[in-house]
Structure 1
Amino acid sequence: MYLNPTHSSSDAAVAAQIVREQPLASLITTDEAGLPQVSHLPMHLNVDGQGGWTLLAHMARANPQWQQLQARPQALVTFLGPNAYMSPDVYAEQARVPTWSYVAVHCRVRARLIDAQDAAAKDALLKTLIADHDPAYAAQWRSLDAAFQQRMLAAIVAFELQVESWQCAVKLNQHRPEAHAAMHAHYAAGTEAERGLARWMERLGLASTAGQGA
């Protein structure tokens, strides 16, 4: 993605937090004609001891995109965090223009499909995603009839996405510290997305007082 150096973050902890807080990703592949195809999928981030990233996910077997991953394993995954309009009324000067604030992470990945015969690995991946979003459901899943479980597992394709590189954008007007206090106050009193941006300003030290830098 295009990254203005002012808004680029190389902090892996910041990028990982965006991914974990906004797990619904856009998986982008290309079809046989080279045209893009997108699926929106929840993903789980694993970080190994050397800082390497792997994303875990699955999709419906009826979705032909898994065949694109099989044929062309390299793909793009994007995570978009809180985002909102920013009015120029946060500036003291009139000669300013509106913009849009956001946090986002893009990952270049290489896919490895989990073999359809490896029900245990697929089940383990599914339980990892359940633990992220609905831990109590794990007991219900285990209590279901084995034949039903097998049918449900057969209806999905699970995969691991090894992250080969990532980019992180944190566009919070870092270059205009004189507006940070007003911007934070506006976002903190706004919509859920705006409040999310206010929290990111706080985490990055952009919220305390006007004139404080990034």
Structure 2
Amino acid sequence: MYTPSAFALDDLPELQQLIQHTRLAQLVTMGDQGLQASHLPLLLNPDEGPNGTLYGHLAKANRQWQDLRNGSDALVIFAGAEAYISPTYYPTKAEHGKVVPTWNYLAVHAYGKAEVFTDAERLLGVVSALTDRHEHGRDRPWKVSDAPADYIDGMLKAIVGFALPIDRLIGKRKLSQNRSPADIAGVRNGLATSADVRDQTLARFIPQGAPE
């Protein structure tokens, strides 16, 4: 990921926080089948290894798990909040007109090699933890144990789990840091007053009172 110094994010707790706040990641591998990508919910154990370890599972029919088994390097993309930035947000547009559109966003790329597993008890632990994470906060959260045990046993036979210790993390926080304080404030206000909730979400990441 191209990451100019103004946008680089290298604080490990913040990188891990962005990973944990991203509900759906993209797993990319290169193997005998060429480039493969899957969209997956993942779990992060932040204390396992120097950068944390990711846990997830793939359908056994999805041959990407074979890339992991064969030692393929894996890239996991966590795409966070994002928004189009209109030149109309910049006060400097009225001064000289030398402005163009851009896109602001948060993203983390995690790299490593994964271990695959099919042990039923270990798989059950992963799918239960994923379920509990995403059911949390519901009035009546669903649990894996709500389904018949023989049905769950059959479902577990159809998936392959993986653990991916993170060897390297690259983070990018592109929030108009290369603009003047006035333009940064204009971007924040423009996004905050947008009718699009995605714009409003990104606005909350832009700090108030950017330094001169």
User: Deviations for 1:160-211, whole angstroms, at most 9, x for unmatched residues?
Assistant: 111001000000011212212211111112212111111111xxxx2x24xx
- Any idea what SS the aligned residue of 1:30 has? strand
Match of 1:127 in 2: 128
Q: Do residues 182 (structure 1) and 182 (structure 2) align?
A: no
What pairs up with 1:53-92 in 2 under 5 angstroms?
Answer: 53-92=52-91
- Any idea what SS the aligned residue of 2:205 has? helix
Structure 1 residue 44: Cα displacement: 0.9
CA distance in 2, matches of 1:163, 1:50: 7
Q: Is the 8 A contact 1:75 1:108 kept in 2?
A: yes
Structure 1 residue 122: Cα displacement: 0.8
So what's the TM-score if we normalise by structure 1? Answer: 0.88
Q: How many residues align?
A: 202
User: Deviations for 1:46-104, whole angstroms, at most 9, x for unmatched residues?
Assistant: 11177531111111111010011111242110011111110111222211111100000
User: Deviations for 1:90-121, whole angstroms, at most 9, x for unmatched residues?
Assistant: 2222111111000000000110112x2x2111
What pairs up with 1:3-18 in 2 under 5 angstroms?
Answer: 3-18=3-18
CA distance in 2, matches of 1:4, 1:66: 33
Match of 2:142 in 1: 137
Query: Sequence identity of aligned pairs in percent?
Result: 33
Q: Do residues 113 (structure 1) and 116 (structure 2) align?
A: yes
What pairs up with 1:95-106 in 2 under 5 angstroms?
Answer: 95-106=98-109
- Specify the code of the residue in structure 2 equivalent to 1:120: E
Match of 2:22 in 1: 22
- Please provide the CA RMSD for this pair: 1.7
Match of 1:157 among 157, 160, 164: 160
CA distance in 2, matches of 1:154, 1:112: 17
CA distance in 2, matches of 1:70, 1:15: 27
Distance 1:50 1:60, change over 3 A: closer
- Specify the code of the residue in structure 2 equivalent to 1:10: D
- Specify the code of the residue in structure 2 equivalent to 1:85: Y
- Specify the code of the residue in structure 2 equivalent to 1:213: P
Match of 2:200 among 186, 195, 198: 195
CA distance in 2, matches of 1:82, 1:70: 32
Greater Cα shift, 67-76 or 101-110: 67-76
CA distance in 2, matches of 1:4, 1:137: 44
Q: Do residues 146 (structure 1) and 144 (structure 2) align?
A: no
CA distance in 2, matches of 1:178, 1:144: 56
Q: Which runs of 5+ in 1 are unaligned?
A: none
